[in-house]
Structure 1
Amino acid sequence: MNIQQQHSVLKTEKLSIGYKSKKEAIVVSNDINIELRKGELIGLVGANGIGKSTLLRTLSAIQKPLSGSIECHGKLIHKHSPIELAKIMSLVLTEQIISKNLSVFELVALGRQPYTNWIGTLSENDYTAVERALEQTHLTDLKSRRCFELSDGQLQKVMIARALTQDTDLIILDEPTTHLDMYHKAYILKLLQQLAKDTQKTILFSSHEIDLAIQLCDKMIVMTKDTVVSDAPCKLIEQGVFETLFPKDLIGFDNKTGRFKVKK
């Protein structure tokens, strides 16, 4: 096995995503060929309604693909059992937490479910994993706090800590900066960048913060109505990919600064 294969965490070939009804298949996007490698921070961007959440749900096996293949560690994703997937891939979705009455420690500890016994008893290794995740996300001082007492930014860090505690090679986050102000958007994405570097986990997130993603990501996946392109941000800028994201009547992309600007 060569180095490229060893470091590949997830790969798709000619993937088509969408929805099936009794009469027809509704294609959201097709011919998606991407590869996520160890230790990368990858930002998934595109206009509203383009299919980012559909792609994430498909990659995480919540939703079946229409056609094509998804491989995790060289094995087709549907060949993994649910418990195997839970040890490979952790998810941070946009749904509200069921019980905010849990303490920070208790919620983060839920990430150990794939490893605990049937009554959920934590071992010494489980406690170590929880404490390590709390430290990595700067939450140690808040571990006894109830989740309903936290700000949106703090709560998002708790969800990231739970994913870290699950100890998977791949972490997928659906719009982790929603409802946060500009400072905390940058804080969360900078934290994800640092975690990818320090833990060598692969972190994939969807976001509308394209300017921040361009600055912080190792790789980006850009979805448009015609195609899905994946590459390093600087190469995507050179290819003019970001200029195709939105109608040009209101905003334009400046290749020199790597930022979007409102047209006057």
Structure 2
Amino acid sequence: MSLKNKHIVLKTEDLSIGYASKKNTRVIGSNINIELLKGELVGLVGANGIGKSTLLRSLTKVQPKLSGKISINNKILEAYSNLELAKVLSLVLTEPLSSKNLTVFELVALGRQPYTNWIGNFSKTDIEIVNRALSQVNIEALKNKKCFELSDGQLQKVMIARALAQDTDLIILDEPTTHLDMYHKAYILKLLQKLAKETNKTILFSSHEIDLAIQLCDKMIVMGNNTVVSDEPCHLISKGTFDTLFPKDLIAFDEKTGSFRVKK
């Protein structure tokens, strides 16, 4: 399907991100132009400290942008009220949960808050959506467990289910594979790939798992020094984008395997 016929969920135009104070402005990234389409899995990668979290905070209205334009579903980000934004964008952070005494079902049900009335009464539809989210992430067996009883991998799946229950067009995850072993890193990213295809939601995640992202993502956003490039992984490989991601003294990118290797 051509780009013209596909719905653009998230778009930035000449976006600059960073930190502004009365005394000075620190630019982290500029001239950022990205388009994320409906149903795409998109990985945001780059070296430590390059500004991935700053970009995600700017895209989600947590932090003000310096300049440029951010649109979700053709509507300028600043035009959304907090409640309206919660119905089009769900955010999964790596910060520790303050509500680990909740059951899995109760935590996932928090995703329905933008739709419930002021006393938080759940309709039959709300409960059906929560149960569907549990099923989509394959954690129905955990629904009555307390969150403090879960492993890191199980808890990450619960957080993804909560985002699904929020029923937004766009899901953004900041480092969803942090603290997980290699198997569970691959499991979570493979799950995100499956969910993007099955639900037709746009899923954007930041990660250090560049090799996995290259294999699984429809599109990647690569942050480098003074550059932000967005394209399909195969095109990024052919352009040599990954060759410039890290200093060449220790690791190199192998175009044939699509992975990084340590230099001998």
TM-score interval (norm. to shorter)? over 0.9
Distance in 2 (alpha carbons) for counterparts of 1:68 and 1:55: 13
Distance in 1 (alpha carbons) for counterparts of 2:71 and 2:155: 31
TM-score by length of 2: 0.98
CA shift for structure 1 position 3? 6.7
CA RMSD in angstroms comes to: 1.0
Q: CA 1:50–1:216 in 2, change beyond 3 Å: closer, same or farther?
A: same
CA shift for structure 1 position 4? 2.7
Aligned length: 263
Deviation per residue, 1:73-110 (Å, 9 max, x gap): 11110011111110000000111111201000000000
Deviation per residue, 1:8-56 (Å, 9 max, x gap): 0010000000011111111001000000100000000000000000000
Distance in 2 (alpha carbons) for counterparts of 1:4 and 1:202: 17
Q: How does 1:1-264 map to 2 (within 5 A)?
A: 4=4, 7-264=7-264
Q: CA 1:6–1:217 in 2, change beyond 3 Å: closer, same or farther?
A: closer
CA shift for structure 1 position 234? 0.2
Distance in 2 (alpha carbons) for counterparts of 1:6 and 1:235: 20
CA shift for structure 1 position 151? 0.3
TM-score by length of 1: 0.98
Distance in 1 (alpha carbons) for counterparts of 2:51 and 2:216: 22
Deviation per residue, 1:100-125 (Å, 9 max, x gap): 01000000000000000101111101
Deviation per residue, 1:132-153 (Å, 9 max, x gap): 0000001100000000000000
**Paired amino acid for 2:45:** V
Distance in 2 (alpha carbons) for counterparts of 1:73 and 1:7: 8
Deviation per residue, 1:57-84 (Å, 9 max, x gap): 0001111110000011111100111111
Distance in 1 (alpha carbons) for counterparts of 2:184 and 2:6: 35
Distance in 2 (alpha carbons) for counterparts of 1:134 and 1:227: 39
**Paired amino acid for 2:257:** T
Distance in 2 (alpha carbons) for counterparts of 1:173 and 1:230: 17
**Paired amino acid for 2:243:** E
Distance in 2 (alpha carbons) for counterparts of 1:73 and 1:138: 29
Distance in 2 (alpha carbons) for counterparts of 1:67 and 1:24: 15
SS of the residue aligned with 2:54? helix
Distance in 1 (alpha carbons) for counterparts of 2:263 and 2:224: 21
**Paired amino acid for 2:8:** S
Distance in 2 (alpha carbons) for counterparts of 1:226 and 1:238: 20
Distance in 2 (alpha carbons) for counterparts of 1:115 and 1:98: 22
**Paired amino acid for 1:62:** V
CA contact (8 A) 2:175 2:205 kept: yes
**Paired amino acid for 2:107:** L
Distance in 2 (alpha carbons) for counterparts of 1:117 and 1:3: 38
Distance in 2 (alpha carbons) for counterparts of 1:5 and 1:35: 13
**Paired amino acid for 2:197:** K
**Paired amino acid for 2:54:** T
Distance in 2 (alpha carbons) for counterparts of 1:20 and 1:124: 46
**Paired amino acid for 2:202:** T
**Paired amino acid for 2:52:** K
Distance in 1 (alpha carbons) for counterparts of 2:46 and 2:65: 20
Q: Which aligned runs of 4 or more in structure 1 are off by greater than 2 angstroms? A: 2-6
